[in-house]
Each structure stands twice: as C-alpha cells, then as structure tokens.
Amino acid sequence: RLGYILQALRQHDIKEDDTSVRRFLHRDTDMYRMDAEVIVTFSDFEKMERICCILLEKLDKSVSVGTPEFYHSAECLSQMRLRACVSAVENAQMKASKVSQLLGQSLGPPLLVREDETKEWRNNEDNGGGEQGSAAPSHFPILPAVTASSQVSVSFSLRDTSRKMR
C-alpha cells in the first residue's frame, strides 16, 4: 500500500522534497506490524483533492487519509505584505493629489516614503464572533486567512500650477 501511495504521488508530479515518510514498527505478541505516515506538502489545492480521491477509491479501509492542514508559505506572506505597503503608498498619493488640487498646486515627486507600521491578523487568532467559516461543520478543515495592513508616511513636493499658466 505504501508503494502504491508513493507511486500515485510520483505520477501526479509531486516532488520527493514535498513528501516525507515515517515508518513505525510495532510488536503485538508474536506478530510485527508496520504503520506508515506519509505527509505531503501541496501548493495546488485541486491536485491535492484529486490525489486524495484516488487514494480513497483505490485503497482499503486500513488506509486513512487525514484532514488537510492549510497554511500560507513565507513567500505568499511576503508578497501580501508588499501588496499592502504598495496599496498604502498608492492611497497616500491619491489623497495628496486631491489635497494639492484643492490648494491650487500639482503634486510633485515623493520626497520621503516610510513604512511606519505593518500588522497581520490570522483567522485562527480571532476571538470567535461571526467570522467567515464559523458555521462550517467541525469535520471540514479550517482555511487560513491572513489580513495585512500597512501604515505609511509619504511626503511629496508641491508645484504651483498658477506659474505654469503665465
């Protein structure tokens, strides 16, 4: 059975680096029993579902497929933080542009851009409440959600638009 599982993973292009196998040998009176645990890291949810379905269909009840555990990779979190910061700078620029128009000025280039604070919230850190997924049955895996915010300070130069018209 272990060979079939590993073969199924290889056939679906799962790299060996994304798979770990642990074997446990037990002695019950005069018999030996080996249990194996296969842990696979997937980056493609649909591929994970396909492989789980294949294993559940083809293997007998002595094999159990555990509930998946979801998490965000370090690269994914880094990209999310970057998007939050870029969005904060874009928002600051848009506000500064509107204010400069009210003052009869045009917005010049930024003089200083500084990220003051970054915050992250994860759904497993919530304190209950009516959050998304709280009504899901307990046998469904909890999908991790991460929210990021970025507070920035941006200073722009201003140009007098009345001088350009003359």
CA-to-CA distance for 33 and 56, rounded, in angstroms? 22
pLDDT at 7: 87
pLDDT at 34: 84
pTM listed for this prediction: 0.61
CA-to-CA distance for 77 and 56, rounded, in angstroms? 32
- Give the pLDDT confidence of 18-57 residue by residue, as tens digits: 889 998 888 888 898 888 888 888 888 888 888 888 888 8
pLDDT at 82: 95
Q: Which residues pair with 134 in a beta bridge?
A: none
CA-to-CA distance for 106 and 97, rounded, in angstroms? 7
pLDDT at 142: 67
pLDDT at 133: 46
Pull the structure tokens for residue 82: 């970057």
pLDDT at 138: 54
pLDDT, averaged across the chain: 83
CA-to-CA distance for 141 and 79, rounded, in angstroms? 24
Which parts of the chain have pLDDT scores under 50? Answer: 125-134, 136, 165-166
Q: Which residue has the tokens 């591929």?
A: 47
pLDDT at 161: 77
Enumerate the domain spans of the chain. 1-58, 74-124+142-160
Nearest Cα to 111, choosing from 153, 161, 141? 153
